Chain A
């Protein structure tokens, strides 16, 4: 289980997170929704070790993660799929998957996992020789998710996987996320597409300018009046 307590992060003088606490239980899908600049990406980047925290704690299975370099956090079993896909455009699809397994040296198992990713995303197998930069946006997102799986994470954090994708493709991505979760990977999902995220999640947190203002099951928040107004586009009647 991932447990965040009183996490504070500041960029220069700007407070991005003002002491948030949240929990991601094993095997669940947890989502963090909120507007631009609420601190969603900062939360994920702090967990991954890309951003230094000011205070607080991030524990995974009782082990403190704050202060560890990114590769140790990946070793602990937490992978992040960065916002905007960030596949390596100059590497082939297959190489991108192999980079995902950079920390591993068990060749036979890596081959197995590549097959597993190809089963989840048959499109990637068709295009395994292509440079990742030539893929469409949806395919790049699939590749980013596949690459994240290659480290065999216990928990996967996705930063706005629906960003810039057509609605049908978004549906695909979300059904893949559910499938990955069924196969035993815990999911921490950051989204602006609150509707999709809340429908998918077991637990949801709402983040507003660095503070968690609401939490509950996905269904509860989906039916919450203030959430409907702020994030789901319902107008006051």
Chain B
């Protein structure tokens, strides 16, 4: 019993962090699936969502500031695609990637300018940050909410991709741009929807993530962004279920390592995992099935 009480918080934290990584990782994997682009700005959009929350909650109640964060983050993701990626649709993939790196630095530096480089205190969202006791272990309520909310959002997303017209459009565009054009699919709209979904999930992820942390700094998006990216690669980039499973595995493993007392190595583990995956199974756990027949 004592053992459970001692270790359960780590497991819960692992599942919770995994859920947060999953919400970010979906943005990476969906954009990659359609544009074959690693959207380096995604982690920074996640950070921006945190900052928007800091400023919004200072001047309005939570029932207004939370929806505002979601809307503004979605607009930011949408705008980034329209301004920095859409004009490069015909350009080589490398150009788009460099543009993504540029956007990443731009967002970070705007944040630096706005915050003055100081860590901004993230607000305590009532109810979410309340302390609860599970089997004698103390934890914040957000730890329990995260995996549930993540799974609900993922089920909705999978239904959207598999059951709706726009989802069918996404799957078509992800395989073949040109034929999709011939079918009359407006590719730009499909791509925008992808960025909107990715940014929305990143915004939800940021609400959950920062509740457990005290401050938002301009570069705070980098680490969770990178880990979510590793999760997406681990699961097989382009695959939504892959990214989710990868994210949960990474989140749980990191926290088990922390429980073992090797906190210093928890980040190293994630990136060692990336190297191993790239060596032994470059397509990841659920790498693209190839059913093409020529």
Give A contacts to B, CB under 8 Å: 48-50, 70-71, 74-75, 79-80, 82, 86, 88-91, 95, 98-100, 102-103, 131, 133-137, 140, 147, 151
Contact = CB atoms under 8 A, between A and B. Distances in A.
A102 B185 contact: yes
A75 B165 CA distance: 18
B293 A88 contact: no
B293 A99 contact: no
Interface stretch (B169-177, B241-249, B258-266): B169-177
A135 B186 CA distance: 27
A47 to B, nearest CB: 11
Interface pairs A-B: 7 shortest CB-CB:
A133-B291, A103-B184, A71-B184, A74-B184, A70-B181, A86-B179, A89-B292
A92 to B, nearest CB: 10
B94 interface: no
Contact of B172 (A74, A99, A140): A99
B168 interface: yes
B237 to A, nearest CB: 15
Contacts of B183: 74, 99-100, 102-103, 147, 151
Contacts of B171: 88, 90-91, 95
B175 A89 contact: yes
A95 B168 contact: yes
29 contacts: A48-B181, A48-B182, A71-B184, A71-B185, A74-B182, A82-B178, A82-B182, A88-B171, A89-B292, A89-B293, A90-B175, A91-B171, A91-B175, A95-B171, A98-B168, A99-B169, A99-B180, A99-B185, A100-B183, A102-B184, A102-B185, A103-B184, A133-B293, A134-B293, A135-B293, A136-B293, A137-B293, A140-B293, A147-B183
* Interface size bracket, B side: 20 to 34
A111 to B, nearest CB: 15
A164 to B, nearest CB: 8
Contacts of A131: 291
A48 B182 CA distance: 7
B189 to A, nearest CB: 10
Interface string B270-294: 0000000000000000000111110
* Chain B residues touching A, majority SS: helix
Contacts of B289: 90
B276 to A, nearest CB: 28
A74 B180 CA distance: 12
A89 B176 CA distance: 10
B293 A91 contact: no
A89 B293 CA distance: 8
Q: Which of A90, A134, A137 has the most CB of B within 10 A?
A: A90
B35 to A, nearest CB: 16
A136 B291 CA distance: 12
B184 A151 contact: yes
Contact of A86 (B165, B176, B293): B176
Nearest to A86: B179
A79 B179 CA distance: 11
Contacts of A70: 181-182, 184
A120 to B, nearest CB: 19
Contact of B182 (A50, A135, A137): A50
Contacts of A103: 183-184
A125 to B, nearest CB: 19
Contacts of B178: 50, 82, 86
A91 B292 CA distance: 11
A97 B104 CA distance: 40
Contacts of A133: 290-293
A102 B292 contact: no
Contacts of B182: 48, 50, 70, 74, 79-80, 82
B181 A88 contact: no
A85 to B, nearest CB: 9
Contacts of B175: 88-91
